[in-house]
Structure 1
Amino acid sequence: MSLRPRPQTRGIPLRAVAPNAVTALALCAGLTGVRFAIGEEWERAVLMVMLAGTLDGIDGQVARMVRAESRFGAELDSLSDAISFGVAPALILYLWSLMAAPKLGWIVALLYAVFCALRLARFNSQIDNAAHPRKLAGFLTGIPAPAGAALAMLPIYIWLWSEEDVLRSPWLVTPWVAFVGLLMVSSVATYSWKSLRLRRNVRFEALVIVGVLGAALVTAPWQTLTAVCLGYLATLPFSAAAFRRVMRQREAAEQIGAGPGAA
C-alpha cells in the first residue's frame, strides 16, 4: 500500500502582511481622528491625521524593504488614503467650522472628499504608465492626498496657536477647503519628493535641517505645521516653472535629434 504525499498548502508569508498592516493602521488613525473630532478634541483629531500621513509614507518603504509589493497592497493603500486624507479631514473640518453653515459647508466637505477620491483614481490609472511626461520628469500631477489633507487643516493649526475664533468662520474655511480640493485634481506639476536627490556636499546640512524640524515639531507643533504648509504652497509656482523648463529642454533635444543630420 503506497502512501500518497499530502499536498502542501502554501500560506501567505508574514513579510507580505507587514506593509498591509501598516496601511491598515493608517486607516485606523484617520478614522480615529473623526472620533476625536466628534468629542471636540481638535488637537488629537489633527494628530491622528498626521499619524496616518506618517504611516502612509512608510508603508511603501516597508513593502519594498521586505519585497512584498503587490496589487492588493496598492489598492488597499488607495482606499486608506481616500478615507484618511479625504473623508476624515472633511468630517473634522465640518465639525470644527463648516457645520456653522450647514448647507454650504456640507457641500464643500463633500466636494473635498470627492476631489481626493478623483485624485487617487487618476493616480491609480497612471501608475502603470511609465511613459507619462510628468512621471518621466520626476513630477506629480496636482498635490498628493496627504499634502492636501495637511493643507486643508491649515486653519485649525493657526487657530490652535493663535486662539483667534474668527478662523473658525465657515466663510473663511469653505473657500480654503474648496481651493485645496481643486489643487488635488488640478494639472499643476508638483515636486515628487521620491525623485529628489541630494548632492553629496549637502547631506550633512540636510540632516541638520531634519533635526531642527523634528525639534520644532515637538516643541511648537502647530506653528511648525503652519510654516511647513506655507512653505509647501510657496514651492508650487517653482515646481510648475521647473516642469515647463524640463519639457522645453526635452523638446529642444528632440528637435535636434530629428534634424537633417539625424540617421
Structure 2
Amino acid sequence: MLPNLVTLLALCAGLTAIRMGVEGRFELAVGAIVFAAILDGIDGRVARLLKSQSDFGSQLDSLADFVNFGVAPGMVLYFWRLEELGSFGWIVALVFAICGALRLARFNAALSGEPPPAWQGDFFVGVPAPAGALTVLLPLSLWQIGLPVPPEAAILVAFFTVAIGLLMVSRLPTYSGKRIGAAIPREAVLPVLVICVGLIALIVSYTFWVLSVGALAYLAHLPWALRKHEMRREAHARERAEEGETEK
C-alpha cells in the first residue's frame, strides 16, 4: 500500500496545482507540481525497496503522471498567460497534455517489448514527463523572479509550450540519471548528505531561481546527451562487430 499512497499523494498535489492555477495563485501551483515531481521520484524507489512492485501500481503511476505532468502544467500556463490567446491558447494547453499522454503510453509500451541493451538504461527516449513539466514552466518561473513576461508575450509562451511537448514525444535521447547515487562510497556519504540538505534548502528558499536555472541547464544538456548517446551506440556496435569476428 505504501508506494500507492505516495502515488496518490502526488496525484493530489497535481490536482491541487490545477486548483491553484484557477485561483491565480501560481506560486503555490508551481510548488505543488514540484512536490508531485519529488514524490514521483520516490514512489518507484519505495516499491523496489519494499519489493512491492505491481501492475496496479505501475498503471496508477502512469495515470498520476499524466495528470501531474501533462494536464496540470498545461492548465497552469493556460490560466497564467495562454488564456490571452483565446481558443488558440486552449489548443496549446491541449497539445501539451496530449504529448504527455503519448509520451507515457510509449514508455509503457516499451516496458513490455524486447529489453534494450544495458547501456541504453542511461538514456530516455524523449524528454521524460516530470522534466518536461518543470521545463515548460520556465516562463512562469522567470516571471516569478522578476523578469518581465507581459500578457503580450503569450504567443511566445505558446510556442515554447508546444516545443517542449514535441520534445516529450520526440526520439531525442536524454540522460536519465537513474544510476546516479546507486552506489555511494562510504567516505562520500556525509558530504553527499550535506549537499542534499543544501539543495533542499535552496529549493525551499529560492524555488523559482532553482527551477529557472535547472530548466535552462536541462535544455542545455540535450545536445550533450545526444552526442553521448551516439558515442555509446557506436561503441556498442563496434563491440558487437568484434564479438562476431571472434565467433568466426
Q: TM-score, structure 1 length as denominator?
A: 0.87
CA contact 2:119–2:232 (8 Å) conserved in 1: no
Given the alignment of the two structures, is residue 158 of structure 1 paired with residue 107 of structure 2, yes or no? Answer: no
Instruction: Determine the structure 1 residue equivalent to 2:90.
Output: 106
Larger gyration radius, structure 1 or structure 2: 1
Given the alignment of the two structures, is residue 128 of structure 1 paired with residue 112 of structure 2, yes or no? Answer: yes
State the identity as a percent. 39
Using the alignment, how far apart are the partners of 1:202 and 1:47 within structure 2? 30
Given the alignment of the two structures, is residue 257 of structure 1 paired with residue 239 of structure 2, yes or no? Answer: no
Given the alignment of the two structures, is residue 219 of structure 1 paired with residue 208 of structure 2, yes or no? Answer: no
CA contact 1:26–1:51 (8 Å) conserved in 2: yes
Using the alignment, how far apart are the partners of 2:96 and 2:86 within structure 1? 15
Amino acid at match of 2:154: P
Given the alignment of the two structures, is residue 243 of structure 1 paired with residue 226 of structure 2, yes or no? Answer: no
- What is the CA deviation profile of residues 116-151 of structure 1, one whole-angstrom value per residue up to 9, with x for unaligned ones? 000000000011335225864521101110111001
Gaps of 5+ in 2: none
Query: What is the root-mean-square deviation of aligned Cα atoms in Å?
Result: 2.0
Given the alignment of the two structures, is residue 29 of structure 1 paired with residue 6 of structure 2, yes or no? Answer: no
Displacement of 1:59 in angstroms is: 0.7
Instruction: Determine the structure 2 residue equivalent to 1:229.
Output: 215
CA contact 2:10–2:36 (8 Å) conserved in 1: yes
Displacement of 1:103 in angstroms is: 1.9
Instruction: Map residues 140-151 of structure 1 onto 2, 5 A cutoff.
Output: 140-151=124-135
Moved more, 232-241 or 213-222: 213-222
Displacement of 1:214 in angstroms is: 2.1
Instruction: Determine the structure 1 residue equivalent to 2:25.
Output: 41
- Cα–Cα, structure 1 residues 61 and 242, in superposed 2: closer, same or farther, change >3 Å? same
- Cα–Cα, structure 1 residues 163 and 244, in superposed 2: closer, same or farther, change >3 Å? closer
Displacement of 1:163 in angstroms is: 5.1
Gaps of 5+ in 1: 1-16
Instruction: Determine the structure 2 residue equivalent to 1:7.
Output: none
Q: What is the count of residue pairs matched by the alignment?
A: 246
Residue of structure 2 aligned with 1:116, choices 76, 89, 100: 100
Using the alignment, how far apart are the partners of 2:207 and 2:108 within structure 1? 32
Using the alignment, how far apart are the partners of 2:62 and 2:44 within structure 1? 12
- Cα–Cα, structure 1 residues 230 and 28, in superposed 2: closer, same or farther, change >3 Å? same
CA contact 1:167–1:173 (8 Å) conserved in 2: no
Using the alignment, how far apart are the partners of 1:121 and 1:65 within structure 2? 25
CA contact 1:134–1:141 (8 Å) conserved in 2: no
Residue of structure 1 aligned with 2:71, choices 87, 104, 108: 87
Q: TM-score, structure 2 length as denominator?
A: 0.92
Residue of structure 1 aligned with 2:47, choices 63, 67, 72: 63
Moved more, 157-166 or 120-129: 157-166
Using the alignment, how far apart are the partners of 1:90 and 1:51 within structure 2? 17
- What is the CA deviation profile of residues 31-86 of structure 1, one whole-angstrom value per residue up to 9, with x for unaligned ones? 11111111111111111111111111111111112221100000000000001110
